[in-house]
A and B are shown apart, each in its own frame.
Chain A
Amino acid sequence: IQMTQSPSSLSASVGDRVTISCRASENINSYLHWYQHKPGKAPKLLIYTASFLQSGVSSRFSGSGSGTDYTLTISSLQPEDFAIYYCQQSYTAPRTFGQGTKVEVK
């Protein structure tokens, strides 16, 4: 299953609402997860199974979607949110990631 994220990068300001999309090449039945990755650090799980907030993650992160189309939303971008975001499906093997979306400072 191929995962396609859009956009590949975006520029935003602190306080902006940010939306990242992820499309699967076939139905993945909400087996869709979102990760944040900062340079020099391990990736961090944000959202699992499309819309469930991982424990300890800020509520400004939310996920939605079903079937083949999913969205990660950051309601009010904070300085610590500038990073690369990946979606990943676990519906079938091989597990696959999107190519990543880089969120940069405007």
Chain B
Amino acid sequence: EVHLVESGGVVVQPGGSLRLSCAASGFNFDDYSMHWVRQPPGKGLEWVALITWDGGGPSYADSVKGRFTISRDNRKKSIYLEMDNLGPEDTALYYCVKDRSLGGSGSFDYWGQGTWVTVSS
């Protein structure tokens, strides 16, 4: 059974930094691209970042480009999201999501339960 478990969400001050982690199990992690998707309180889903199976081709939403960095460690079956210069607009539930494809152009077939990031002074 596929499991995605996010961690690292906390309350952080504006301008601060944070690192989210996602541990995966139940599938051949090396064979799939992975994403981060977020949902601000009371709003819809927003795609944040993609990393392909081999760590290549990271891509980002315009709203986080230059501030967030996605990475992965296939030995640890984990992905990460380094978040810098956080602002109140980054307050959201952050989901770790598995792509059904190698290259990242597929649907999001498994989601974690999410980890909350709150940016507030």
Known: A42-B113, A42-B114, A100-B45. A48 touches B60 (CB 8 A): no
Whether B44 lies near A49 (C-beta < 8 A) is no
A contact set with B: CB distance below 8 Å: 31, 33, 35, 37, 42-45, 48-49, 54, 84, 86, 88, 90-91, 93-100
Q: Once the chains are docked, how many angstroms separate the CA of A37 from the CA of B108? A: 13
- Min distance, Cβ A91 to any Cβ of chain B, angstroms: 7
Q: Is B53 an interface residue (CB 8 A)?
A: no
- Min distance, Cβ B63 to any Cβ of chain A, angstroms: 9
B contact set with A: CB distance below 8 Å: 35, 44-47, 50, 59-62, 95, 100, 104-114
- Nearest B-chain residue to A99, judged by Cβ: B44
List 8 tightest A-B contacts by C-beta distance, closest first: A48-B107, A42-B111, A33-B107, A95-B47, A93-B59, A100-B44, A97-B45, A94-B61
Q: Once the chains are docked, how many angstroms separate the CA of A2 from the CA of B58? A: 21
Whether A43 lies near B107 (C-beta < 8 A) is no
Chain A residues closer than 8 Å to B104, beta-carbon distance? 90
- Min distance, Cβ B34 to any Cβ of chain A, angstroms: 12
- For B108, give its contact among A35, A84, A100 (CB under 8 Å): A35
Whether A90 lies near B109 (C-beta < 8 A) is no
Whether B35 lies near A95 (C-beta < 8 A) is yes
Listed by A's residue number, 15 A-B pairs whose Cβ atoms lie within 8 Å are A31-B105, A33-B108, A35-B45, A42-B112, A43-B108, A45-B108, A45-B109, A54-B107, A84-B44, A86-B45, A88-B45, A91-B105, A94-B60, A97-B44, A97-B45
